[in-house]
Structure 1
Amino acid sequence: MVKTIGIIGAMDLEIELLRDNMKLISKENIAGFNYCIGRIEGKNVILTCCGVGKVNAACCTQILIDRFKVDYIINSGIAGGLHKEVKICDLVISDNVTYHDVRKNQMRSCFPFKEYFEGDKYLIDVAIKACEITKKENYHVGRIVSGEYFVSDKNIKNNIIEEYNPHCVEMEGAAIGHVAYLNKIPFVVIRSISDNADNDANMDYDTFEKISAEVSAKLVLNMIDMI
């Protein structure tokens, strides 16, 4: 059975390289989201940009599932590093995702009664193999946390680290994983580090955002070839 891979980036720069490598068949605009339908590495792919933030990401993901019946979801993009071993331009592969701006007790006690959402083992394994084959970037497998603000304060960063022990922080991955979980769709979040989520984050982000976005997208291209 032919599989369809849904790929989501928050910003245009995060999907630019993927779009450049896509044989475009058609486009659809639904609820303001543009969906590119085509093939990459001979595989059926739906590529979309969800915009920044959890609500945008969740809406875009649900449409991707309902309208395009995707079999897998890969979220590609950039993030702020939160682990001492994670450096700028390193890759992080999510083994699970959660929110850093929602209380753990609320996650456990309210539907869907999950403190975090686990990435798909098959997709994680594919991502690891793709990293090991290319041997171009350092990679890590770990927790990715999401919230509704760009983390650029050392004190906030340290609080998130103490509470969640994550590898990196961004603004969409947990919402994408949340929706994928509800719909029983395998997912993984791939992030390349653009900054260290500290007081220098804005300066680092401006310098490395495009480079890091391409690092993540290149890994996803290699993953598509292997799926």
Structure 2
Amino acid sequence: MRRLLALILALLLAGCAGTPRDTARIAVISAFEPELALLASKVVDARRQTINGVEFITGTLQGKPVVLFLSGISMVNAAMNTQLALDRFHVSHIVFSGIAGGVNPELKVGDVIVAQRWTQYLEVLLAREVAPGKYQAPAFIDDAKLPNFGMIHPRPVGVRSAGRSGEEKIQFFGADAQLLAIARRAAADVKLERCDAGRHCLDHQPRIVIGGNGVSGAAFVDNAAFREYTFKVFEASVLDMETAAVAHVAYSNRVPFIAFRSLSDLAGGGGGENEIATFFQIAADNSARVLLAFLAAWK
């Protein structure tokens, strides 16, 4: 019996050893592999393990202990796998890097946006049409206060979180102020690229923009009218499918968060076809370059 108990204990300890919680790590997240490739290639003493089908890479990046992983594309994947990382690792901070659609008409493909706040633009009421082209929310719903896009009426999301009692209604989740300050310092030393290895080149020099708002939702947006709507209503610079979900999880767990997003396309605002197929690698690597400079500047 003692020998059996000892064997069980050894197996349990071996399982725990594969998921280290003793070292505080920065979670570095991207949605899909091309966004993470440059960062993963820079990890020192990399160790890989798979949990629930998700591969996690631990090691150091720019001298900082990290755990890298792919959230998967979509709000649900992003929330689920961010929480998985928080449950299995000692995560001190969350950093996201990836591509996105540009919403602010002053921004261009290749620019890197480090937004100050993120909201979920598809946390919504789909309202009843009471007259041709006129939509009205039910009287008992009193939190759909932002301007609507047809039947789509944005709403804040209800949040329960560690150390806070009851449910909060939150429209925007903020990036951590100290991390934003580091990003501002780091941005001065980053040179963004105009071309990728396949000789796809931008006709302008991309830039880094710190601040402003980002929006996320479970839709790939390639629509000029909706792009204009998100810019006017949310004052958004950038639109994607994961970041606000990660920010939501970070807030609920009281973990500092920041995201770097480089524009691969203009979300339907360009003059021709969507640009993502041509410029996603330039955007992905530019975002990663800013994140690397950010980690290097983090003392």
User: Is this a same-fold pair by TM over 0.5?
Assistant: yes
Q: Which runs of 4+ in 1 moved over 6 A?
A: none
Radius of gyration: which is bigger? Answer: 2
Corresponding residue for residue 193 of structure 1: 263
Residue 32, structure 1, aligned to residue 53, structure 2: yes
Residue 145, structure 1, aligned to residue 201, structure 2: no
Corresponding residue for residue 225 of structure 1: 296
The one-letter amino acid of 1:126's match is: I
Shift of 1:203: 3.5
CA distance in 1, matches of 2:52, 2:78: 12
Corresponding residue for residue 276 of structure 2: 205
Aligned residue pairs total 227
Corresponding residue for residue 52 of structure 1: 73
Identity %: 31
Q: Deviations over 1:124-165 (max 9, x none)?
A: 111121111225451222111001111101122122223211
Q: Residue 14 of structure 1 aligns to a residue in which SS?
A: helix
CA distance in 2, matches of 1:159, 1:125: 29
8 A contact 1:95–1:142 mirrored in 2: yes
Q: Residue 86 of structure 2 aligns to a residue in which SS?
A: helix
Q: TM-score, normalised by structure 1?
A: 0.93
CA distance in 2, matches of 1:177, 1:208: 26
Q: 1:187 to 1:18 in 2, by over 3 A?
A: same
8 A contact 2:213–2:236 mirrored in 1: yes
Between 1:76-85 and 1:136-145, the stretch displaced more is 136-145
Corresponding residue for residue 176 of structure 1: 246
8 A contact 2:94–2:255 mirrored in 1: yes
RMSD over aligned Cα atoms: 1.9
CA distance in 2, matches of 1:41, 1:188: 17
Corresponding residue for residue 160 of structure 1: 230
Shift of 1:214: 0.1
More helix by share: 1
8 A contact 1:119–1:188 mirrored in 2: yes
8 A contact 1:12–1:49 mirrored in 2: yes
Unaligned regions of 5+ residues in structure 2, if any? 1-22, 125-142, 145-154, 160-166, 193-205
